[in-house]
Structure 1
Amino acid sequence: MDRAELQQYLETVLEVGRFKDYCPNGLQVEGRGEIRHIVCGVTASRALLDAAVARGADAVLVHHGYFWRGEDGRITGLRKARLATLLRHDINLFAYHLPLDAHPELGNNAQLGARLGLTAAGRFGDQELGWLGCTAPTTLAGLAARVAEGLGRTPLVLGDPARPVRRVGWCSGGAQGYFEAAIAAGVDCFISGEASEPTTHLARESGVAYLAAGHHATERYGVQALGAHLAERFGLTVAFVDIDNPV
């Protein structure tokens, strides 16, 4: 598949132009023009790039790429090593941040909700990245156990384990800043990837429960769904490589 054709398709299907983001979305590093084999992952770490080289990939597709707002823009040290790997092997790097969080079917939040058995019913928050929905009646302990089983890691639980839970809000990754908006939306529990120091106090004082299930763990599924979609639609060879990350 031609690189420009793939780039245009991804920008269209993910509606890249709708989002005000912290990084450039799309083709971040240009490689060879013909793409047959893609390696997908959450973050464009050195380990993922080495896996792409070992597999003979033409492109790497990730959620967390490079060139974040406010970063030191100098290409030295670790940044040089990462970019040198891509350029030396003529590998393309495609990265989609908020567009991949938000997509109604292939996105991180859509996939996370489906994996946890949550029925989506609405959106909230900045750029409508937060999701609202419901679950079959359960307790906070029951929902936490479902998260642990579905994501393969035990979440941090803030709240009374016996608290009844029916209405749930969620937003993958580092979305603890959405907790107040979720509280205002009337949820019984909010699920995200991370927690900050104020999160505990908000949970205690509001009575709304909070589950922090891991930034990486909550954002593994969007890029997998997108990769599977590309494989089915265009006949590309696509492999997801999960670089373990406890955060």
Structure 2
Amino acid sequence: MNNFFLENIINEKLSSNKYDDIVPNGLQIEGAKIVKKIITGVTACQKLIDKALFYHANAIIVHHGYFWKDESQYIHNMKKNRLKSILSNEINLYSWHLPLDVHCQLGNNAQIAKKLNISIKGHILPYVFWGTIKNKITGIDFAKKIAEKYQKQPIHLYDNAPLYIKRIAWCSGRGQRFIKEAYIFGVDAFLTGEISEETIHIASELGIHFFSLGHHETEKDGVKSLGEWLSSKYNIDVTFIDIYNPA
């Protein structure tokens, strides 16, 4: 498949042109013209690049790529090594950030709902989803469900929170700053990736369940599902690599 054609079909699928992002979405670094093997992963770290070389891939698709708005423009040390590996091996680097957070089928937040059997009802903010759990569940049991589905124990704050959860809001990645908006909207629980020091006090004083599962864990299923869609629709060789990250 042509490398720019691959970019175009994903841009169309994810409606990338709708988003004013803090990072370029699409083909960030041009490599070989014909893409034969794709590696997908959360972040374009050196370990993922090395895996792409091991599998003789000539394309990498990630959620967290390069050239962020506030990123240093100097190419030193780690950045030099990453770019050298990519450019010298003619690897195409693709990245989709916000478009892959919010897509209604393939996105990170849609995948969270699918995994935890949450019925999506709408948005509180553009990147904050809300929905309902079919059968109300205690916060303790929902934490167990999260641990079972993700094979990782979430941080669960529930001081002063209601016993049962029926309405829940969530935002993959660094969404802890939206807990107040979720509370005002009227939910029993909020789930995200990261947690900050002040979140402990906010959750307790608002009386809301808060679940933190890790930035990586809440954002790996989007790029994985994108790869599965590409493989099934275009019969292209795609392998998802989960580089361990506890954060």
Structure 1: distance between partners of 2:187 and 2:48? 37
Equivalent residue, structure 1, for 2:199:
199
The reply on whether 1:233 has 2:226 as its aligned counterpart is no
Q: Is the 8 A contact 2:4 2:27 kept in 1?
A: no
Aligned to 1:116: 116
Cα drift, residue 197 of structure 1: 1.5
State the alpha-carbon separation in 1 of the partners of residues 176 and 113 from structure 2: 17
- The partner residue of 2:127 within 105, 126, 129 is 129
Conserved 8 A contact 2:131-2:169: yes
Counterpart position of 2:141:
142
* Match in the other structure for 1:156: 155
* Larger displacement relative to structure 2 (12-21 or 106-115): 12-21
CA distance in 1, matches of 2:196, 2:22: 20
Distance 2:73 2:142 in 1: 42
CA-CA distance at 1:233 after TM superposition: 1.1
Query: Quick check: 1:133–1:167 contact (8 Å CA) kept in 2?
Result: yes
Superposed counterparts of 1:88-103, under 5 Å: 88-103=88-103
Q: Return the offset for 1:79.
A: 0.2
**Mapping for residues 170-181 of structure 1, pairs under 5 Å:** 170-181=170-181
Alignment correspondent of 2:50: 50
What is the rounded CA distance, in whole Å, between the counterparts of 2:239 and 2:7 in structure 1? Answer: 18
Letter in 1 for 2:214: G
Query: What amino acid maps onto 1:111 in structure 2?
Result: Q
For structure 2, the residue ranges without an aligned partner over 5 or more in a row are none
Between the two proteins, what is the percent identity of the paired residues? 39
Q: Is the 8 A contact 1:106 1:225 kept in 2?
A: yes
The whole-number CA distance in structure 1 between the counterparts of 2:58 and 2:198 is 43
**In 1: Cα distance, 2:187 partner to 2:124 partner:** 11
2:240 is the alignment partner of 1:246: no
Q: 1:71 is paired with a residue of what secondary structure?
A: coil
Cα deviation for residue 4 of structure 1 reads 1.1
Cα deviations by residue, 1:165-205 (Å, 9 ceiling, x for unpaired): 11010111111111111111111000000111221111111
Letter in 2 for 1:56: H
> Retained in 1: the 8 A contact 2:194–2:213?
yes
Long gaps (5+) in structure 1: none
Root-mean-square deviation over aligned CA pairs: 1.0
1:167–1:189 Cα contact (<8 Å) kept: yes
Q: TM-score, normalised by structure 1?
A: 0.97
- Quick one: which amino acid aligns to residue 38 of structure 1? I
Q: Tell me the amino acid that sits aligned with residue 2 of structure 2.
A: D
Measured after TM superposition, the shift of residue 45 of structure 1 is: 0.5
Per-residue CA deviation, residues 61-80 of structure 1 (Å, 9 max, x unaligned), is 00000111111111110000
Bigger CA drift: 92-101 or 156-165? Answer: 156-165
For 2:82 and 2:123, the matched residues in 1 are separated by 36
Worse overlay, 152-161 or 133-142:
152-161
Task: Please report how far the alpha carbon of residue 151 of structure 1 lies from its aligned counterpart in structure 2 after TM superposition.
Answer: 1.1
In the TM superposition, structure 1's runs of 4+ consecutive aligned residues that sit over 6 Å from their partners are none
Q: What is the TM-score with the length of structure 2 in the denominator?
A: 0.97
Q: Shift of the alpha carbon at 1:162?
A: 7.1
Aligned residue for 1:105, secondary structure, equals coil
Describe the SS at the equivalent of 2:117: coil
Look up the equivalent residue of 2:142 and give its one-letter code: L
Deviations 1:43-64 (A, max 9, x none): 0000000000000111000000
Aligned length: 245
* Amino acid in structure 2 at the alignment position of 1:131: F
For 2:23 and 2:45, locate their aligned partners in 1 and report how far apart those are by CA, in whole Å.
16
User: Which amino acid is the alignment partner of residue 127 of structure 2?
Assistant: L
Q: Does 1:26 align with 2:26?
A: yes
